[in-house]
């Protein structure tokens, strides 16, 4: 028999017992739908997480240096960190480490009241050097960013995030207005462009920036930093630059082995790699569960096929009598199992992808489909049909035609 | 057409004891003969027919079909012999119930490797008087009609040998009569027919009658010259 005729015969045979065919497809369809939907939802979520981190980190061609050994969780606040990172460390890195384009200095805190007339908010307050906006690709929606002049003269000027602007000004134009940060008056010289949502969907716009010099001398009265942002000439160079920065800072901070670093260098790429890893561990678990569901579908196919073989003994006998070889019978039953399973798989993929699309839209995410997983699901359903069809098909091929035709 | 010499067939029962259904059966059947095999129930008629039809192999003895020693063939090769050279007709028709009359007739063509000849299948249905029933399911047909579909199926690959095991056993006398007329006409086309029956009247259609008793040929008589109905 030719391939097409085999599939055609299998199709007719399945069409003759629709109810059984339906139940045989069900298991695989459910498994594959779960596989497709979970993988696609997972992929949409993963892509969104990456977008969120990218927005928070700004750019990928940077290294971040924070005070203290080990990775401190959460956001450091000036006053709550080790005073180990000095202002002078910034220029020293910029000049002393090859491959470094420039270094931004940051002092941050998030526990200061910011008020305008009767309104007040508690945003993230960032004291930043004037190159910060450029390094992070931050743009202003109106007004202007901080300048070298602002930094040098310890100007009491601020650029506020959109959330702060709307909370304090309710649509009034903030430019030129004077707001109070911990009771110190600052003139608004710009409003930042929206940065969207960060990790966990939280807003990145509830923020304001002031010159780091002003922050240090007029607001916090601290001469150490919470963050240094090192911009690289070539982002592929980040490992080597990180090592050089570490060596330089140990020397500047007079750290002698076996004493540990009093700072931590991290790269956005390493952070991303970590997120990707968590994502892939999760997707492995999800995949495992769905694969098991599909295998259960395969077991359903096998047991219903076995029942089918014993019900169809006479048919098998007739086919053998009119000239079918054992191999013909085997191929027929295998083709039926494979066709059922693949049809179940296709239905599962359609349902799963549909479910994933609805799921993503409900979460207001752009839908994403993990095509490798969908292709894998299709291949899996074919394999499940063949593997689980093998034993019933072998049984069918070995039905004794004389026995089957008697009575 | 058929040269069987010293055929024996011994089955092993479930409890391991042997049952000998045929012993030392030798017979020669010429091309175009219409032979009826008679005998009491359990005498070994079906066992003989299964061997002649290459569904079964003799425990000992040799069977030549059209000059070829088919008792030495593999399961695969015997399938091909059945496909091309033998047509079966059963007592209980054995049509595929959820297939149409036409699909049933075309079934043997599936296993020839050639493209299906729908026109031939329709023509065969016409020939057995069921041209108008081609698209009926087997279950929608009367017993006599089902048996005629089964005969059309047996003819699909144009085999020279037809084997029928009590083909009228489940039919009323009118339907049985028309089936026998049909078989007789097939003999006139030149086919060799071996038919197992209890029925004296059915036996009267054949040229030659072989009686089997306890697995042995008890008598072999020519009733009339070949094809002289
Ligand atoms: N598969 C089998 N296993 C054991 N005994 C069998 C088997 N098939 C037939 N027999 C026995 O062989 C003898 C002949 O059977 P069979 O050829 O069917 O006779 P008939 O067709 O003349 O009624 C019977 O005694 C029957 O019980
Ligand atoms: Mg019998």
Q: pLDDT in tens for each of the 229 residues of chain B?
A: 899 999 999 999 889 899 999 999 999 999 999 999 999 999 999 999 999 999 999 999 999 999 999 988 999 999 999 999 999 999 999 999 888 999 999 999 989 988 889 999 999 999 999 999 999 999 999 999 999 999 999 999 999 999 999 999 999 999 999 999 999 999 999 999 999 998 889 999 999 999 999 999 999 999 876 655 5
Q: In A174-237, where does DSSP find H-type helix?
A: 212-214
Which of A365, A200, A221, A388 has the alpha carbon at shortest distance from A302? A388
Chain A positions in Cβ-Cβ contact with residue B53 (cut-off 8 Å): 321
* Among B9, B11, B23, residue to substitute to test ligand 1 (most atoms within 8 Å of Cβ): B11
Mean pLDDT score of chain A, rounded to an integer? Answer: 86
Note whether ipTM > 0.90 here: yes
Ligand 1 atom closest to Cα of B49? 17
In tens, the pLDDT along A137-151 reads 888 999 999 999 999
Tell me the per-residue pLDDT of A35-46, one tens digit each, with 9 for 90 and over. 888 777 777 777
* C-alpha distance from residue A313 to each of A318, A345, A403, B163 (Å): 9, 28, 9, 21
What pLDDT shows up at residue A52? Answer: 76
CATH number of this structure's domain B30-58+75-222: 3.40.50.300
CA distance A295 to A188: 63
| Omega before residue B182 within 30° of 0, cis | no
pLDDT of residue B83: 95
A314 inside 8 A of chain B by CB: yes
The pLDDT of residue A307: 93
pLDDT of A350 > 80? The answer is yes
Contact status of B59 with chain A (Cβ, < 8 Å) = no
Predicted confidence at residue A318, as pLDDT, reads 96
Q: Which run of H or of E encompasses B145?
A: helix B143-155
Q: Which of B31, B33, B12 is nearest to B21 (CA)?
A: B12
- A177-195 average pLDDT score: 93
Which residue puts its alpha carbon closest to atom 6 of ligand 1?
B11
Q: What DSSP designation does B116 have?
A: P
Q: Is the CB of B79 less than 8 angstroms away from the CB of A325? A: yes
Q: Name chain B contacts of A16, Cβ cutoff 8 Å.
A: 98-99
Mean pLDDT of A80-103: 89
Of all protein residues, whose CA lies closest to atom 16 belonging to ligand 1? B44
The predicted model gives A247-256 an average pLDDT of 90
Question: What pLDDT shows up at residue A73?
Answer: 54
Tell me how far apart the alpha carbons of residues A275 and B215 are, in angstroms, rounded to a whole number: 81
Residues of A in contact with B50 (CB under 8 A): 402
Name the closest residue on chain A to residue B114, using Cα atoms.
Answer: A1
- Residue B165 Cα to ligand 2 midpoint, Å, equals 7
List, as ranges, residues 131-190 from B with C-beta within 8 Å of A.
Answer: 153, 156-157
DSSP A248: H
Name the strand (E) or helix (H) holding A281: helix A268-311
Q: Is the pLDDT of residue A12 over 70?
A: yes
Tokens of B97: 């119930």
β-bridge partners, A185 = A180
Stretch (H or E) spanning B127:
helix B118-127
Say which range, A4-13, A258-267, B181-190, B200-209, has the weakest mean pLDDT: A4-13
Atom number in ligand 1 closest to CA B40:
22
When mean pLDDT is compared across A83-97, A348-362, A387-401, B8-22, the lowest value belongs to A348-362
Higher pLDDT, residue A181 or A52: A181
Closest CA to A184 of A161, A213, A163, A214: A214
Residue contact B98–A16, C-beta within 8 A: yes
More confident residue, A324 or A31: A324
Report the pLDDT value the prediction gives residue A19, as an integer from 0 to 100: 85
CA distance A313 to chain B (A): 11
Tell whether the torsion through CA atoms of A160, A163, A166 and A167 is positive or negative.
Answer: negative
Strands A140-143 and A157-160: unpaired
- pLDDT for position A378: 87
CB-based pocket (< 6 A), ligand 1:
B 11, 13, 19, 21, 39, 41-47
**How far apart, in whole angstroms, are the C-alpha atoms of residue B81 and residue B110?**
15
Give the span between the Cα atoms of B146 and B93, in whole angstroms.
6
Percent of chain A with pLDDT over 70: 95
DSSP-assigned beta bridge partners for residue B138: none
Q: Do B111 and A12 touch (CB under 8 A)?
A: no
User: What is the domain partition of chain B in residue ranges?
Assistant: 30-58+75-222
**Residue A1: count of CB within 10 angstroms of its CB:** 18
Interface contact B11, partner A, CB < 8 A: no
pLDDT of residue B38: 95
| Pairwise CA distance, residues A238 & A97, whole Å | 12
Distance between CA atoms of A231 and A234, rounded to whole angstroms?
A: 9
Residue A395 has pLDDT above 60, yes or no: yes
Per-residue pLDDT, A173: 93
Please report the pLDDT score of residue B6 as a whole number. 95
Region A203-214: what's the mean pLDDT? Answer: 91
State the best of A17, A322, A400, A404 to mutate against chain B, taking most chain B CBs within 10 Å: A322
Q: Distance from the CA of B166 to the center of ligand 2, in angstroms?
A: 8
Q: Is the pLDDT of residue A289 over 60?
A: yes
Sheet holding B60-65, edge to edge: B18-29, B2-12, B60-65, B68-69
Radius of gyration of chain B (CA): 17
CB pair distance less than 8 Å for B82 and A321? yes
Question: Would you state the pLDDT for residue A296?
Answer: 87
Do A323 and B84 lie within an 8 Å CB cutoff? Answer: yes
Closest chain B residue by Cα to residue A4: B115
User: Could you tell me the distance, in angstroms and rounded to a whole number, from the CA of residue A330 to the centre of ligand 1?
Assistant: 28
Supply the pLDDT for residue A71: 55
Nearest CA in chain B to A318: B94
Strand partners, A127: A107, A210
Whether B107 and A318 lie within 8 Å, measured CB to CB: yes
> Residue A407's pLDDT is what?
61
| Alpha-carbon gap: B177 to the closest alpha carbon of chain A (Å) | 22
The residue with tokens 């049809």 is A343
Q: Provide the pLDDT for residue A139.
A: 87
């Amino acid at each position: 028999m030719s391939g097409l005729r085999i599939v055609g015969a299998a199709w007719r045979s399945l069409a003759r017992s629709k109810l059984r065919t339906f139940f045989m497809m069900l298991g695989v369809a459910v498994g594959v739908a779960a596989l497709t939907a979970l993988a696609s939802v997972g992929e949409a979520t993963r892509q969104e997480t990456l977008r969120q981190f990218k927005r928070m980190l700004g750019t990928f061609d940077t290294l971040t240096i924070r005070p203290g050994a080990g990775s401190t969780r959460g956001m450091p606040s000036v006053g709550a960190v080790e005073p180990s990172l000095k202002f002078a460390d910034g220029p020293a890195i910029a000049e002393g480490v090859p491959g470094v384009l420039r270094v931004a200095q940051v002092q941050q805190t998030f526990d200061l009241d910011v008020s305008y007339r009767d309104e007040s908010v508690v945003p993230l307050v960032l004291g930043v050097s004037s190159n910060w906006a450029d390094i992070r690709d931050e743009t202003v929606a109106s007004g202007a960013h901080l300048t070298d002049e602002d930094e040098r003269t310890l100007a009491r000027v601020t650029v506020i995030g959109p959330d702060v602007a709307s909370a304090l000004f309710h649509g009034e134009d903030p430019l030129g207005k004077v707001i109070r940060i911990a009771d110190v008056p600052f003139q608004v010289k710009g409003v930042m462009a929206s940065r969207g949502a960060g990790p966990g969907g939280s807003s990145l716009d509830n923020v304001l920036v002031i010159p780091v010099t002003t922050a240090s001398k007029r607001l916090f009265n601290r001469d150490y930093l919470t963050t240094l942002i090192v911009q690289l000439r070539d982002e592929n160079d980040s490992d080597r630059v990180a090592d050089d920065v570490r060596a330089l800072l140990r020397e500047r901070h007079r750290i002698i082995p076996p004493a540990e670093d009093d700072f931590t260098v991290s790269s956005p790429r390493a952070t991303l790699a970590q997120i990707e890893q968590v994502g892939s561990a999760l997707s492995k678990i999800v995949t495992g569960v769905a694969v098991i569901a599909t295998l259960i579908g395969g077991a359903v196919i096998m047991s219903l096929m076995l029942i089918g073989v014993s019900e169809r003994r006479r048919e098998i006998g007739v086919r053998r009598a009119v000239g079918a070889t054992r191999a013909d019978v085997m191929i027929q039953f295998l083709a039926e199992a494979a066709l059922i399973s693949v049809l179940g798989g296709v239905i599962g993929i359609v349902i799963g992808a549909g479910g994933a699309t609805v799921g993503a839209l409900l979460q207001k995410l752009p839908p994403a489909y993990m095509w490798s997983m969908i292709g894998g699901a299709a291949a899996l359903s074919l394999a499940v049909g063949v593997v689980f069809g093998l034993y019933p098909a072998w049984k069918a091929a070995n039905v004794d035609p004389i026995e089957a035709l008697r009575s | 057409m058929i040269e069987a010499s010293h055929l024996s067939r011994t089955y092993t029962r479930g409890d391991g004891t042997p049952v000998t259904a045929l012993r030392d059966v030798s017979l020669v059947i010429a091309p175009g003969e219409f032979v009826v095999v008679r005998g009491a129930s359990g005498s070994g008629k079906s066992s003989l027919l299964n061997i002649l039809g290459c569904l079964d192999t003799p425990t000992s003895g040799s069977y030549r079909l059209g000059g070829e020693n088919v008792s030495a063939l593999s399961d695969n090769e015997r399938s091909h012999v059945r496909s091309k050279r033998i047509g079966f007709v059963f007592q209980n028709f054995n049509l595929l119930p959820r297939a149409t009359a036409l699909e049933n007739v075309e079934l043997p063509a599936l296993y020839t490797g050639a493209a299906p000849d729908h026109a031939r299948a329709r023509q065969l249905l016409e020939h057995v008087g069921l041209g108008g029933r081609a698209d009926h399911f087997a279950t929608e047909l009367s017993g006599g009609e089902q048996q005629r579909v089964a005969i059309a199926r047996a003819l699909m690959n144009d085999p020279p040998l037809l084997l029928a095991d009590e083909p009228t056993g489940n039919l009323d006398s009118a339907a049985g009569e028309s089936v026998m007329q049909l078989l007789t006409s097939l003999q006139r086309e030149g086919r060799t027919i071996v038919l197992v029956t209890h029925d004296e009247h059915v036996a009267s259609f054949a040229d030659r009658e072989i009686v089997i008793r306890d697995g042995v040929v008890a008598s072999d008589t020519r009733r009339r010259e070949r094809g002289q109905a």
